[in-house]
Amino acid sequence: MESSFIQRIYEKHKNCTKCPSTVLVPKFFTDLLGILFPNFASTPVLDYSEFQKRIQMIKMEMIQILSRNFSEEEFDPIEQSELFFSGLPDVYDKLQLDIDAMFAGDPAAKNREEVIRSYPGFYAIAAFRIAHSLTKLGVSNIPRMITEHAHGKTGIDINPYANIGDYFCIDHGTGVVIGETTDIGAHVKVYQGVTLGALSVNKEDAKIKRHPTIEDNVVIYAGATILGGNTTIGKNSIVGGNVWLTKSIPPESKVYYKAQMYTEDENEKPDLIIFK
């Protein structure tokens, strides 16, 4: 390599003293998950004092990560860490409700331990809940790194700035996308391939609500695409598989495409059906 190129990339390294580690952030999340759920622990901790030491080690991991995190505002890493861990019981309780939702929502689930240990939906939601709690503390960069780590492992892409209510269930999950300004109510269930996305907007409009609102007790089946910040799916509605929506539907609706067989000679296409 030419010395000029080496100098260019060296300058990048000098300017990255406040770059959070792409190695330490996923490790922190994995270690934290192992504390919250022994199903994810590399080794069980049977001694209480040793368990407390492990928690302290994870706190130190977080302080180290926060110390290397560039932010437009100045934050005290120790204070941020303490605030995060003080809010962890609420995150844990929400995850218990998500586990209940996935266990109740999947007839194939044998027990809650199976949901925790092997369901990609739980792993992605756990990453989201933890990352979302960091966004509420004003922490930048790191929340997205946590959810992208889960995205890589599960195929489920949840932006940490979305708002998701209690008892959230993702069944199967592969290909699910939930955008930044999505609002999801309680007792919502989505299947694989669901996209809660945005219509195309200019970069200067990035801070407006661009993603849909899903009200309570909605079920969205596989492959459905729901787009736009003004799109609301009313409570107690069912959105069928492969439906494409860019307009709101009222509460108690059932939306699906009419299945129809046709030959190459026929021009008929499936119709969008909305029952209310």
Q: Which residue has the higher pLDDT, 39 or 186?
A: 186
pLDDT of residue 261: 60
Give ranges for CATH 2.160.10.10 in the chain.
162-276
Query: pLDDT (tens digit, 9 = 90+) per residue, 5-25?
Result: 988 988 888 777 777 888 899
User: In the predicted model, what is the mean pLDDT of residues 52-64?
Assistant: 94
Query: pLDDT (tens digit, 9 = 90+) per residue, 194-240?
Result: 999 999 778 887 789 999 999 999 999 999 999 999 999 999 999 99
Q: Which class for 149: exposed (0-12), middle (13-18), buried (19 or more C-beta within 10 A)?
A: buried
Q: How far apart are CA 11 and CA 13, in angstroms?
A: 5
Q: How far apart are CA 245 and CA 231, in angstroms?
A: 8
Q: How far apart are CA 115 and CA 101, in angstroms?
A: 10
Q: How far apart are CA 265 and CA 105, in angstroms?
A: 42
Q: Name the average pLDDT for the chain.
A: 91
Fold of the domain spanning 14-156: serine acetyltransferase, domain 1 (1.10.3130)
Whether residue 189 contacts residue 236, with contact meaning beta carbons closer than 8 Å, is answered with no
Cα dihedral 45→48→54→55 (10° resolution) = 120
Query: pLDDT (tens digit, 9 = 90+) per residue, 101-153?
Result: 999 999 999 999 999 999 999 999 999 999 999 999 999 999 999 999 999 99
Contacts of 146 (CB under 8 A, 6+ apart): 25, 26, 29, 127, 130, 131, 134, 160
Q: What are the angstrom distances between the C-alpha of 275 and each of 132, 146, 215, 251, 255?
A: 35, 40, 17, 10, 6
Fold of the domain spanning 162-276: UDP N-Acetylglucosamine Acyltransferase; domain 1 (2.160.10)
Query: Does position 40 have pLDDT exceeding 60, yes or no?
Result: yes
Give ranges for CATH 1.10.3130.10 in the chain.
14-156
The dihedrals phi and psi of 138, each to the nearest 5 degrees, come to 85, 10
Coil, helix or strand for 61? helix
Whether residue 254 contacts residue 261, with contact meaning beta carbons closer than 8 Å, is answered with no
Q: What are the angstrom distances between the C-alpha of 190 and each of 17, 21, 112, 170, 258?
A: 40, 32, 19, 5, 20
Using alpha carbons, select from 131, 150, 151 the residue that is nearest to residue 141. 131
Taking the complete model, does pTM exceed 0.85, yes or no? yes
